[in-house]
Structure 1
Amino acid sequence: MNLTTPANEPGRLEALKNYAILDTLPEIGFDEIAELAGQICDCPAALVSFVDASRQWIKAKYGLLPADLTECPREISICSAAICNNDILYVPDLEKDQRFSANPLVTGEFQLRFYCGVPLITQEGHALGTLCIIDFKPRELTFEQREALRRLSRQTMVHLELRRQLLQRNEMLLELGLARDRAVAEQAVSDRLLLNILPRSIADELKATERVQPRFFDSATVIFIDFSGFTRLVETMEPASVIDQLDQHFTKFDDIMARHRLEKLKTIGDAYLAVGGVPEPNRSHAIDTALCALEILEHTAKLNRQREKLHLPAWQVRIGINTGPVIAGVVGKHKFTYDIWGNTVNIAERVEAAGVPGRISIAESTWPHIQARFETEARGAVEVKHKGLVNMHYLNRIRPEYSSDSDGMTPNERFWKQG
């Protein structure tokens, strides 16, 4: 048979695709429309079906039709002719209509005799399919029945449109959910990067207010570390090896600082700066810093024993510690840096510079905070650049009664109970 197609066939097929109706499961709304059409017109069968490029696919059916009937080839589909009409196709006797008298649906097994179908037309004018009633004998419909069928076809399109909008909404909600998940994941990455730069409380303040209020801390402990003879040491090393080894040392220092509640501030070349009691004030910052310094000294000593066996030069650290007031805040707009300022910081750097490789030097201001728990050794007054004479001590170890090891590096329970 000759296949007739609507003038707007490409657009019609695209519109049908957008409704995502083909090959979907039965839905009670369409089933009820087919049943109502059959009952109003007093016909034994009714269909809601859609016509794609090659077939008529049945979404809902009512009445005396085979249970396994789901589609019909388009070339013999009477509904395919109905969608070209843009109006009701009413055929009281298919055998007497020359358009359909030779159709296999009429002459073959189904023996159709009556057909009345109304196109399901979108607002854009695309006929997607039909609401049709059929009979196996000729019949007439009243004007009222045909009008009722028209109204039912419009309700079918309303139902179909609502279904499409619901699908679009669900798709939009899914896309919004995915976008939200991506945003959450990106925010988590951003937060992790920010926390690599700033303390958590400072990062939270920056996100909340887009700025950080500078703060004065009346007591904090600053630790300054660098490697003695670094320039001479690196002259014999490949640049990549220098960076790799510095990274290994500073990564270990980061872990040690975190365990002892110190905040790493920055590295400058081979120098490393951190502070205790900032940005979260506490009363044990000097003690925490002393424990941190001992652990760093133990770590580097262990590494140097291994390097000595390999006949490699040692990485000797100098450590300087000072306690006093500081001002802390964030500088920069595009590349944030959390930093501290004040005479306490300057003295810590000078104490470190005036120190001895492999030892921990502490300023006189730190000594009262730690002397009850740690063994120290007075150095006396030491000339410090731009500061004059500064009284210093060496920090040697934890006192034996407060240490859980013979070297005085690890505190015991009494250490923390000591008033």
Structure 2
Amino acid sequence: MEEELIYTLALTAAPGLGLIGKHRLIDNLGSAAEVFRKRKELLRLAPGTPPKLLAALDDASLLRRAEEEIEFAEKNRIRCLSLHHEDYPSRLRDCDDAPLVLFYRGNADLNALRVINMVGTRHATVYGQDICLRFLTDLTELCPDTLIVSGLAYGIDIHAHRAALQNHFNTIGVLAHGLDRIYPAQHRKTAIEMLEQGGLLTEFMSGTNPDRQNFVKRNRIVAGMSDATIVVESAAKGGALITAELAESYHRDCFAFPGRVNDELSIGCNNLIKTNRAALISSAEDFVNAMGWGDAGRKPKATVQRELFPELNEDEQRIVGLLRKRPDGLQINTLVVETDVPVNRMSALLFELEMKGVVRALAGGVFRLIG
């Protein structure tokens, strides 16, 4: 397993091919190790492989760098989660551009039953700060086990993390650099607290600087590992809107808090709502109801046990079994996590169950058993 991890890290660092192309190479050859072992045959086995990548695979320094990174991780209690590791965020795994390896230090379950991210401007106003605190304070009564994700940046990000800590939520900071540093340095104290009540996550090796383009890459992890994105405050342009766009591309729910029409830092949120790219919420209760998570803070209701539908296949039976335990319904990403069925396959299964009159689709991507 460590050998495959070394080759995967080396392939990740190799120039000449994008992440989606590297996914395809591994899928075609069966493993990252095989990509390296058969590098002389890649033009035949994987036509169109860029010459720059072929040259890079011959560079022994890639493997040495990967070995050094694993040593660094071991010394610093950092876990290296390859794409098929059981603790790799399963919601993110279903995204075409998911990182081949994640570096994680912390104690939170990245596959928690409910995961949300809160993002927004780096210039948060008192209004935005109050929303973070009020939303998460109220959420403790409704969904106390929710994992809160953000980017440890100035503004809404850090206020979301601090409000999560204050309300005893686990919270994950997704970084735009390696785990050998904290950026911005002013957030180090909060980051250390998060190691005991959540954690820090990144796709970048140690020594990677927090360069501008890395923040955009970071945003796809924030969006991809979550059931829903919540935009608190945003100007007409900004990283939060990129995260919202990514969430939509991954078929995840997106929500936004509205603001006054003449407030510069509410333009982005108001536009998301106006163009139907985000649902308007004004409270934690709005959000929980939209997601169909209304029973999360209560004990499950007793249900009448029914026989499995004989005409359903094995995957459909599993979905029905889960929905039987949750009469108020489950969100599609929760079903993906619980069954480990890829989101595209889950969508097809739920469509078939709707056609068979077994389930009903509700708002917020929630599905409920009929009858």
| Short-chain TM bin | under 0.3
TM-score, length-scaled by structure 2: 0.22
TM-score, length-scaled by structure 1: 0.20
Could you say which structure has the higher strand fraction? 1
Compare CA radii of gyration and give the structure with the larger one: 1
Task: Point out which structure has higher relative CO (alpha carbons under 8 A, 6+ apart).
Answer: 2
Could you say which structure has the higher helix fraction? 2
